[in-house]
Amino acid sequence: MRNIPAFIPRLILSLAGCCFVIALVLSWQRWADILIDYGRELYVPWQISEGRILYRDILHYYGPFAQVFNALIFKILGVHSRTLMWLGIVGSVGFSLLLYHALRVISDRLTASVGILVFVLMFACSQYTMIGNYNYICPYSHEIVDGVFLSLMTFILAAFLVKRPAAETVLGMGLLLGCVVLTKVEVAVAALAGMGVGGLLLCREGVRRQELLRVGLILIMGLLLPGILFWIYFSLKLGGAEALRVLEYPFLAPFSKTYFSNSFYIQMAGMDDLLGNGMKLLRQCAGWSLFLAWTGGLGVLTQRIKSDHPRRMFSLMGIVLTAAALFMIYPQVAWNDVFRPLPVVVLLYTGFVLGDVLWQLDQRERRRAILKLVGAVFSGVLLLKILWNAHIYHYGFVLALPSVMVCLAFVLYEFPRRCELWIDPWVVRSCLGLGILSLCMGYAAISLQLYVLKEFNVHSLTGSFVTYSSDVSWQGPCLQRAIDYLREHTLQDASVVVVPEGVIINFLSERRNPLKYFEFEPKLIEAIGEAVIVQAFQDKRPDYVVIVERDNTEHGARYFGQDYAQDLYGWIMKNYTQVFQEGAMPLTGRGFGVVILQKKR
């Protein structure tokens, strides 16, 4: 393929940097939803930094790495929501650099530069739902973001290893993979699957058995070391056997019957309507195919024109027509469904690079193809959780990101490169670039429409968020008044439990939850047992219970105390009396509201 002028990737990278700065200015402190999910990401490391033990004192579903790391950051920089926000910003910049280098391994400078632009405009500061914590600044789960970050670092080390084998590189890969295992199960499985496939294929490259054994031992040593260090950390606080048990929990919980029967995860994966989702997938595949056929046709026609001037004129006309066509279909785009074909594209890409691995004669290109296959396997396994409903909103902001990058490598690099004898790659890449840019602008516009609705500041000594004004939602004003009440009318050491969820109230009011449990969703109560949770309330007897409006239909039952957890709700009503209400009565469906109950004397 023809060389790319250096100024084009630099121009795209500069544009990405400007967009990132603009996005930070427009969306400052508007990323995190203040009630639904992000409170956990603040509350858990805050409590760890105060001396509580993860898993024993705080129920947690994922590995310990991210929360212990965030607790260390709180210890160093202070407990405040902005601490993790700035950590997210710095992490997003680092993620961009890693992503660029990873894309350079499997493609070229132009594709890598476009990948950074896509990440900034569509993922880093995005918000596509009313809940604003599905982005890389304030993610709903630091575990999964940290896991993908560490997996990218591992991939880049693997690329170094292929070029120049070294024991320290192997050890570094093992350490990083060991840390990935301590984040979230789906990322760990994807990373181990990708690296496992790459390792097996590299064994075919004529490596001596003795050298292979040495590399394997170093890798396993590095892989086990983070887990051993965390076992020692927990052993000092809990004892060896108990430390081993709590470290097992995050890996066993996702494979429980309760997890797989959860209607929320079934719907997210698209398994609730196989036929309907299959038809949507086919429609989007047809749309993608038509666009690729259009760009390929323009490339073929341009290639057949031999004279330079007519060729340039035809190229320009084709690009203008493509831009006009994209402008016309822009209002009809079904944004929620655009990325459904990602599994198909990843599968096609895997097929192409697997062919190179098996039949490429040049050793250097074959090893590069192995690295491409590692990226494809990682992307495909991570996509399994949303396989029949691939999207970039909600959990897709992280589950689909590697697949989106693989898709870019396929359409912007592999497709033009493999067809350059029959098409003009510049025309094809220019038209495809216009399509990618239109997607970026469309999704950025969705985020901007939601950001401008946020005008109300919820704040305290430990945090500050800009959320929706009262014209859109009463959540912000209600929470602010409830937090003010707790800070002004309760003792500093008063204990507070929020049901069914809303641990952000604990964080912003600086009132500790004495229980191990801080979320009371239907499936969680089913998994733990309502009697166990009631007993925990009876043993600890928190000073205050806060009830907030929360519809849990997506998790299998609508209202706490009515459709599930009736015994727990009854115990609370029997032992507590109302002292505060703001907004509508919670759990009635009449609107958002907060009630504070005080323990009876």
Tokens of 71: 């607790």
Residue 280 CA, distance from chain mean position: 23
Give CA–CA dist 448/544, Å, rounded. 38
**What pLDDT is attached to residue 2?**
54
Q: What is the mean pLDDT of each run of 10 residues along the chain (601 residues)?
A: 68 86 80 71 95 92 94 96 93 94 94 95 91 90 96 95 87 96 94 92 70 84 94 90 82 61 79 90 93 91 84 86 88 90 95 88 86 96 94 94 96 90 88 93 92 90 89 90 96 95 94 94 89 95 95 88 94 96 92 94 80
Give CA–CA dist 585/594, Å, rounded. 7
Q: Under a CB-based contact definition with an 8 Å cutoff, are residues 137 and 92 in contact?
A: yes
Tokens of 592: 């958002």
Cis peptide before 500 (omega within 30 of 0): yes
**What pLDDT is attached to residue 256?**
58
CA 138 → CA 31, 88, 102, 383, 463, distances in Å? 6, 6, 23, 21, 13
Which residues, 6 or more positions from 567, have their beta carbon under 8 angstroms from its beta carbon?
Answer: 530, 531, 534
Environment class of 3 (CB within 10 Å of its CB; exposed 0-12, middle 13-18, buried 19+) = exposed
Give CA–CA dist 179/195, Å, rounded. 14
Give CA–CA dist 142/144, Å, rounded. 6
Give CA–CA dist 128/448, Å, rounded. 9
DSSP label at 131? Answer: S
* Residue of 386, 400, 129 whose CA lies nearest to 277: 386
Q: Under a CB-based contact definition with an 8 Å cutoff, are residues 593 and 585 in contact?
A: yes
Q: Under a CB-based contact definition with an 8 Å cutoff, are residues 320 and 333 in contact?
A: no
Strand partners, 54: 58
Which ranges constitute the DSSP H helices of 305-399? 308-329, 342-359, 363-383, 396-399
* Other beta carbons within 10 Å of 471: 9
**What pLDDT is attached to residue 266?**
83
